[in-house]
Structure 1
Amino acid sequence: IRRQWFCGSAICKAAVSKGIEVISLSRSGRPSYSDSWVDQVTWLTGDVFYANWDEVLAGATAVVSTLGGFGSEEQMQRINGEANVVAVNAAKDFGIPKFILISVHDYNLPSFLLSTGYFTGKRKAESELLSKYPTSGVVFRPGFIYGKRKVDGFEIPLDLIGEPIEKFLSAVENFTKPLNSLPASDLLLAPPVSVDDLAFAVVNAVVDDDFFGIFTIEQIKEAAKSVKV
């Protein structure tokens, strides 16, 4: 279940590469461009609030949600929180054994920022997921996600920014650790995550029955290693 093409497409592509049958639900449906893996995904057009869950969830063994975004306070609560809560409950009602949520890093921001709809919505979704799926729910908490992002037919190479930053922060990690306790420090110091690492971490979560809980940035990268070959 996706709202943004960026993460959702990478997850679909990674899952297909590992022989997983994939159904994608989004408002945009099938992408306008054609890569070989695109033809191996079943693309459904719909809204999570009005979805035909019989069509979407029939035969599914796991649900992955990349729902999220910015906007007004009300929009952020709805997109990041309520939409994911609806999806979690639909999956639970249909007996789907696993649910995987793409959330957001636990930034050490001032409380007035963490109380905005984006963060409170994400945490509301996490809480619902972990209460309904205590031993099989997965929450990934990445920070900045980089990779090649397609917008209106144009490719934005976020990897040209994210990859060097990730390598630099990894190299100076021992020097920056003492700064982690400073308010809002991880806005600058939290390592970026490759969209491919996130996608393969999701694949790991899908295929491993013992994979559950909350995963930090470094744990996401570790989870990707065992399946990213």
Structure 2
Amino acid sequence: MAATKRLVVFGGNGFLGSRICRAAVSRDWDVISVSRSGQPHWESITSSPSPPPWSTRVAWERGDIFRPEQWTSLLPGASYVVHSLGILLEADYKGAISGRENPLSALARTFGGNRIPRPRNPLERVRQEGVPEPGLEAPTSPQQLTYELMNRDSAILLAKEAARAGVETFGFVSAAAGAPVLPSRYISTKREAEAVIAREFPGMRGVFFRPPFMYDESRKVTMGIAALATVGSTVDGLTRGVLGGLLGAMVTKPLKVDEVADAVVEALSDESVKGPVEVKQLEELASKAWRRTMI
């Protein structure tokens, strides 16, 4: 009998991360989620404040990604480790969506110039300055959450510890090509993380998921945005890519978040999948996962 697969998801209590946990549980994998809050706030990621039945099969651990001593003990023996953390805006964008922060002030902080200096690649800092590992300081406020820190450095830090623990496969939730409504650093920091992880840890299969805009009925605001993106994608196809050249990922066909989660788990289980996984391949993997349930 084949050994049970074990998956550790960092950010497993989030919009996509929670659904990755759900997809893995459906395959009878052992699943651990690591996040600062532990158990998800279900009302913010699903249509109900009550935990779904599958959630009892996930170990919801508390841990700060920037404090490895809190979670490195969870990595040995893991089949797969997934980084599903990151920020869309250098601000409390979740607070803006829920009304805790004024959306205008969130955008102003994102595009403004009064940001805390950006830390460098943690591996380069260790090599060049000889600072003690991990070479990162945990942020103490939302204002310190930069693209470099969250989208790049936290992923590199986790990949380093996963490789050290002997994990064979590392999944990183990156993103499809950027859009002009977001700073270029949003996508560039994710690409930097992909490149560093692939270069520094060649013995570990790296899978870099590049999903488009993701939507779900539990987040009503995503439905309207997805509808607009779908129209843009259709028009872009009819005009042979004219809009895509101007608007980037804004006219990339959006995917339901459950589809992306199914694709992630399918890719992890398929050893032939490695490197960047673009939108079309995500759709193919999700379809393959769906067909598996029909057998």
> Would the aligned equivalents of 1:166 and 1:193 in 2 still touch at CA under 8 Å?
no
> Relative to 1, partners in 2 of residues 1:135 and 1:84: Cα closer, same or farther, differing over 3 Å?
closer
Q: 2:271 aligns with which of 171, 185, 209?
A: 209
Please tell me whether the aligned partners of residues 12 and 18 of structure 2 are also in contact (alpha carbons under 8 angstroms).
no
Corresponding residue for residue 5 of structure 1: 14
- Give me the whole-angstrom Cα distance separating, in 1, the residues matched to 2:33 and 2:269: 18
Q: 155-164 or 43-52, which moves further after superposition?
A: 155-164
Aligned to 2:193: 125
Question: Match of 1:86, as an amino acid?
Answer: L
Say whether 1:67 aligns with 2:52.
no
Match of 1:83 in 2: 154
The answer to whether the 8 A contact 2:34-2:60 is kept is yes
Match of 1:225 in 2: 287
Task: Sort the Cα spacing of 1:50 and 1:217 in 2 relative to 1 into closer, same or farther, 3 A.
Answer: same
* Alignment-mate amino acid for residue 195 of structure 2: S
Aligned residues: 219
**CA distance in structure 2 between the partners assigned to 1:162 and 1:11 by the alignment:** 22
Between 1:87-96 and 1:163-172, the stretch displaced more is: 163-172
Q: In structure 2, what residue type is equivalent to 1:100?
A: G
TM-score of the superposition, structure 1-length normalised? 0.84
Which residue does the alignment assign to 1:28? 37
For the aligned residues, what is the CA RMSD?
2.6
The structure-2 alpha-carbon separation of the partners of 1:18 and 1:187, relative to structure 1 and needing over 3 Å to count, comes to same
- Contact preservation (8 Å) 2:213, 2:226: no
Maintained 8 Å contact 2:13/2:38 = no
1:43 maps to 2:111: no
Q: 1:162 to 1:217 in 2, by over 3 A?
A: farther
Q: 1:99 aligns with which of 151, 164, 170?
A: 170
Aligned to 1:151: none
Unpaired runs of 5+ residues, structure 1, are 149-154
CA distance in 2, matches of 1:145, 1:134: 31
Distance 1:97 1:144, change over 3 A: same
Question: Structure 2 stretches of 5 or more lacking a match?
Answer: 1-9, 42-49, 91-109, 119-145
Bigger Rg, structure 1 or 2: 2
**Structure 1's 101 and 163: CA in aligned 2 closer, same or farther, altered over 3 A?**
same
- The one-letter code sitting in structure 2 at the alignment partner of 1:177 is R
Contact 1:165 1:192 in 2 (8 A): no
Instruction: Mark the CA change 1:23 to 1:181 in structure 2 (over 3 Å): closer, same or farther.
Output: closer
Shift of 1:165: 4.7
Structure 1 Cα separation of the partners of residues 178 and 240 of structure 2: 15
Report the Cα distance in structure 2 between the residues aligned to 1:167 and 1:160, rounded to whole angstroms.
Answer: 10
Higher relative contact order (CA 8 A, sep 6+): 1
Residue number in structure 1 paired with 2:237: 174
Look up the match of 2:205: 136
Asked whether the equivalents of residues 229 and 250 of structure 2 are also in contact (C-alpha less than 8 Å), the reply is no
Deviation at 1:160, TM superposition (A): 3.1
Asked whether the equivalents of residues 162 and 192 of structure 1 are also in contact (C-alpha less than 8 Å), the reply is no
Contact 1:61 1:98 in 2 (8 A): yes
Q: Which residue of 2 aligns with 1:146?
A: 215
